[in-house]
Amino acid sequence: MLRSLYNWTMDKAAHPHAVWWLAFFCFVESSFFPIPPHPLLGLMCLAEPKKAVKFALVATLASVAGALLGYAIGWGLYDTVGVWLIGALGLTEAFPVAACHLREYDFEAILIAGATPVPFKLLTITAGFVGMNLVTFVLSSLFARALIFMTVGILFRVFGAPIKQVIDKYLGLVTTAFVVLVVGGVLVLTQLGGSEDEEGGVCSSPPAIEAS
């Protein structure tokens, strides 16, 4: 079923309204859709490299808008929609861990999820559940999504179609390395300014998922 859904999503790259489909998939993927939009963005950039930055910008903004939907689900509908959705996506065991890390690192956790293969929807729903500061959430989501989507758009715009093989092979490594550097720097600064006696850095009792 996932393969059929993936093929259906990729078919939209040749649709007359492909940009709108891209926006739609980026929006829903941030909160509940299981298929990542990155391959669709790549196909569209491959077909029209001169519009690659435009496509990437659409993907970024739509993804952040979708992240707000995920946040809203976690904040106001967790006991009903949220619990079911987390379970349907197979993220039940990951949710307590995500909540733990969001409470401890918030911005850095969203950055990691948004720019790496970690399911972004897991963090958007969890952010709403733990009541993460909304401004911090939006800024970190924007930064993370722009990092990966705009990188693809700019590379296609500058180098054209031949860059596809390089992106396919190295994009994940490059973005992950960049995120590690940013997060590592922030954590170092945090540790230097914090107290070793505080327990805030320990996730001792993550929340459990219970449908009530």
Q: pLDDT digit string (tens) for 78-104?
A: 888 989 998 888 888 888 888 888 888
Residue 124 to residue 10: CA distance in whole angstroms: 24
Give pLDDT, residue 184.
56
Residues of the chain falling short of pLDDT 70: 1, 117, 167, 170-212
Residue 187: its H or E element = helix 164-193
Encode pLDDT of 175-198 as tens digits.
666 556 555 544 544 444 444 444
Report residue 148 as tokens. Answer: 């990966």
Report residue 89 as tokens. Answer: 């996506």
Give pLDDT, residue 133.
93
CA dihedral of 16, 17, 21, 22, whole degrees rounded to 10: 90
Q: Are 108 and 187 spatial neighbours (Cβ–Cβ below 8 Å)?
A: yes
Q: Are 120 and 179 spatial neighbours (Cβ–Cβ below 8 Å)?
A: no
Residue 106 to residue 64: CA distance in whole angstroms: 16
Give pLDDT, residue 124.
93
Burial (CB < 10 A; 0-12, 13-18, 19+), residue 152, is buried
pTM of the model: 0.78
Give pLDDT, residue 200.
46
Nearest by Cα to 78 from 112, 119, 124, 111: 124
